[in-house]
Structure 1
Amino acid sequence: MNRERRKRVALFVPSLRGGGAERIMLNLAGEFAERGLNVDLILAKAEGPYLAEKHPSVRLIDLKARRVLFSLPGLVRYLRRERPVALLSALDHANLVALWARSLARVPVRVVVSVHNTVSQATARDRNKRSRWILRGMGLFYPRAEAVVAVSEGVAKDLVNVVRLSREKIRVIYNPVVTQALFVKADEPFDHPWFAPGAPPVILGVGRLTEQKDFPTLIRAFALVRKKHPARLMILGEGEERSKLETLVQELGLEKDVALPGFVNNPFKYMKRAGVFVLSSKWEGFGNVLVEAMALGTPVVSTDCPSGPAEILENGRWGRLVPVGDVYALAEAIIETLDEEHHPDVANRAKDFAVELAVEKYINVLGV
């Protein structure tokens, strides 16, 4: 029995609705299982398109909570019943619940929380009191974690400056983005007229349609690109800014050359065939989609936002970096990238973000 408990590791996340942090936790759960660990993937509510991608050896625990906070009693019961050796959580509200649950359960479980966004940027733009309470909770509870994983050096520095965490408490582990499944999905059959041979190159963006991703800047930049270069723009994702983006597309007369098809389960087959991938965000924690596109050999352009892209691209070595919100600089970088005959070997750089490398570091910090 003790041997069984030493091997069990739990991962806690609100749901599998389709965000970058959720995919990373799913990747980690599958890789832990491949290493022979007993893995429980605990969800506040079992919902979202990534559910179908769960590794068959990973046990799903559905706490059936309407909100993450309401999952606290169920998580406490789980910890008392299963007593995993370690609990890894992601996303700040889930991190706080994980640490609170450990205190209430009073069991010897090692809790590691992971931060996937630049806290100062995310909270500064959130207009409700919830973010302020979360920020205060981070300052109170995060020091009680065995470790805090930051997904980039920029996120780590932000945690020190904003949350006042000790730098010794923080471990920087780049996201385990590149998996074998990514390449398998990229090679799935794909029949879309925009990606047919001889068609104009497609400029691709992927992400939730939110303020953070700043797709209005990408659309305006594309309007400038199209004046000098035949091209099309496709943005994969769903979110509250859809109507705003659709209105902008109409105002700029781009209806025939801009597509917003919504969330897709497999963005990788689009990434592999794109002429250039663009990350236009105002802020990030890391920039998973940037690495995914690079792994598939697609040239990339990114804003130099806090945090992640400059670290991924090594300050422009692997792709052009432009100031946040600069329409003209973004358009120029896209045109230059499309016109380039020889691109950096971005696929080789993406190997530095392979799941195998990150998993070793997570296993070490979790103590399993």
Structure 2
Amino acid sequence: MLFFTNRLGGGGAEMQALRVANALDPTEFTVDVAVCRAGGEYERLLVPTATLHHLAPRRIRSSTLGLLAATLPLRRLVQRLEPHIVCSFMDAANAVAALAVRRSGGYPRMVPCVQNPLSQELNDPRHPVKRAVFAAVRRAYPRADAIVALAHGVAADLVRHIPDAAPRVTVIHNAGVDDQLPARAKEAIDADVGPVPRPLVVACGRLAPQKGYPDLLDAFASVQRDTGATLWILGDGPDRQSLEAQVGRLHLGDAVRFLGFRKNPYAFMSRADVFVLSSLYEGFGNVVVEAMAAGAPVVATDCPHGPGEIITDGENGLLVPVSDPQRMAFAIRRVLQDRDLAARLVERGRRRAEDFHVNKIGAEYAALFRRLA
């Protein structure tokens, strides 16, 4: 087995690659993991039975250039290792894998994993890199041996854009929970953060347009006036400056803190009185499952795709319309003010999170790999 992605760090897709690689039985599968760029924060979590390969020179910082630079090294690695299966994660890495791998006698089997809806990620005629990746996967996906979509909505979106890929598409949800998560959720939060305020709202994700943070801030401004709550946002990204400016315009001051990337987000999730996902779109929404497993009641946008496949509204979480700060504020306020509701969401959310345990999801991947090999 050879897994391939840009780097082991930075987001949910990379964490999924790590969890699947770690979940495979080493007595049955020999696992190699190839990444374009070294230094990802998840590398230290890779099991010792797996071998990690860095393909692109360390001086390359760009994701796009790193993928291009990795093409020939990946081809040589595949020729040397002769894996039965190459499993890649994310569309750009899937395109590079298809370009790099030369098959003989049907091997290696190619299994690209689609982590976000093509309609949102790639179908943008104004963006030359996205346009090139979209053209590449339109050719590559119908030739794959199997395509893993992480949600039924993502699968349907893929088939709409690439109908010829339909017979090869299978849905395997992301692994959102592993055996370490509950213990890590109980660890102390980072000392530099200080004491935990009450009530506390937590969000986690890249500071980018996809995550809908302007809507969350607008919603929180209303919540904060009524409850005196504090909002902690974990993650970094290109929108940080504009979001900080919005906090100023809303006169929220110290009630909102941008805490940057944190090695253990689960410790923050477990201390949340409510966890909020405000995304405009998702592939799956790993953080929803992680927050449930950490013991936080969850409010999430019913965005395409993922949260609606995880949450049954009112039972194990609350769903709100996309880009509707008023409805989001109402849902957050409900959880903060109705502790019976919050306790019910926590209990049922924990149970729901177990459906996405890495042992279960890893077994589904293993069954697929056995069938292909």
Asked whether 1:356 is paired with 2:359, we answer yes
Looking at structure 2, the residues matched to 58 and 249 of structure 1 have their Cα atoms a distance apart, in angstroms, of 44
**122 and 315 in structure 1: CA distance in 2 versus 1, 3 angstrom threshold:** farther
C-alpha separation in 2, matches of 1:94 and 1:56: 24
Q: Is the 8 A contact 2:277 2:301 kept in 1?
A: yes
SS across alignment from 2:220:
helix
Render the CA deviation track for 1:286-336: whole Å, top value 9, x for unaligned: 000000000122100001110000000035532111111111011011001
1:150-208 per-position Cα deviation (integer Å, ceiling 9, x unaligned): 0000000000112224432101000011101212211222355442xxx4111111000
User: Structure 1: which amino acid aligns with 2:141?
Assistant: Y
8 Å CA contact 2:124–2:130 kept in 1: the answer is no
Do the aligned partners of residues 169 and 323 (structure 1) sit closer, same or farther apart at CA in structure 2, a change above 3 Å counting? same
Q: Which segments of 5 or more consecutive residues in structure 1 lack a partner in the other structure? A: 1-8
| Farther off after superposition, 111-120 or 307-316 | 307-316
Name the structure 2 match of 1:10.
2
Q: What's the CA shift string for 1:122-144, capped at 9, x where partnerless?
A: 23568411112211211111111
In 2: Cα distance, 1:321 partner to 1:154 partner: 16
Q: 1:5 is matched with which residue?
A: none
Pairing 1:309-328 to 2, within 5 Å after superposition: 309-328=307-326
Equivalent residue, structure 1, for 2:76 = 77
1:44 aligns with 2:44: no
Shift of 1:35: 5.6
Q: Distance in 1 between matches of 2:113 and 2:317?
A: 27
Residues 155-234 of structure 1: pairs in structure 2 closer than 5 A: 155-190=154-189, 192-195=193-196, 199-234=197-232
Equivalent residue letter for 1:92: D
Counterparts of 1:170 and 1:237, CA distance in 2? 32
Q: Secondary structure at the match of 1:68?
A: helix
Please give the alpha-carbon distance, in whole angstroms, between the structure 1 residues aligned to 2:359 and 2:150.
Answer: 15
Instruction: Tell me the equivalent position of 1:331.
Output: 329
Letter in 1 for 2:325: V
What SS class does the counterpart of residue 327 from structure 2 fall into?
Answer: helix
* Counterpart secondary structure, 1:38: coil
Q: Judge conservation of contact 1:110–1:146 (CA < 8 Å) in 2.
A: yes
The Cα RMSD (Å) is 1.7
Alpha-carbon distance in structure 2 between the residues aligned to 1:366 and 1:266: 31
**Where in structure 2 are the equivalents of 1:1-368 lying within 5 Å?**
9-33=1-25, 36-65=28-57, 66=60, 67-103=66-102, 108-124=107-123, 127-190=126-189, 192-195=193-196, 199-342=197-340, 343-344=344-345, 345-367=348-370
Give the deviation of 1:17 after TM superposition.
3.0
User: Aligned letter for 2:115?
Assistant: H
- Supply the distance in 2 between the matched residues of 1:127 and 1:74 (Cα, whole angstroms): 30
Query: d(CA) in 2 for partners of 1:97 and 1:76?
Result: 10
Name the count of aligned residue pairs: 357
1:39–1:57 CA contact under 8 A, matched in 2: yes
CA distance in 1 between partners of 2:125 and 2:332 (Å): 30
- Look up the match of 2:63: none
Amino acid at match of 1:135: F
The 1:80/1:18 distance shift into structure 2, 3 A limit, reads same
Letter in 2 for 1:102: V
Counterpart-to-counterpart distance in 1, 2:255 and 2:146: 47
Q: CA deviation at 1:33?
A: 5.0
Q: Is the 8 A contact 2:294 2:350 kept in 1?
A: yes
TM-score by length of 2: 0.91
Is the 1:43–1:62 Cα contact (8 Å) retained in structure 2? yes
With structure 1 as the length reference, what TM-score do the two structures score? 0.93
Identity, % of aligned pairs? 38
Give structure 2 stretches of 5+ with no counterpart: 61-65
| Alignment deviations for residues 48-103 of structure 1 (CA, whole Å, 9 cap, x no partner) | 21122221221111112542022111111111111011111001011011122223
Contact 2:295–2:349, Cα closer than 8 Å, also in 1: yes
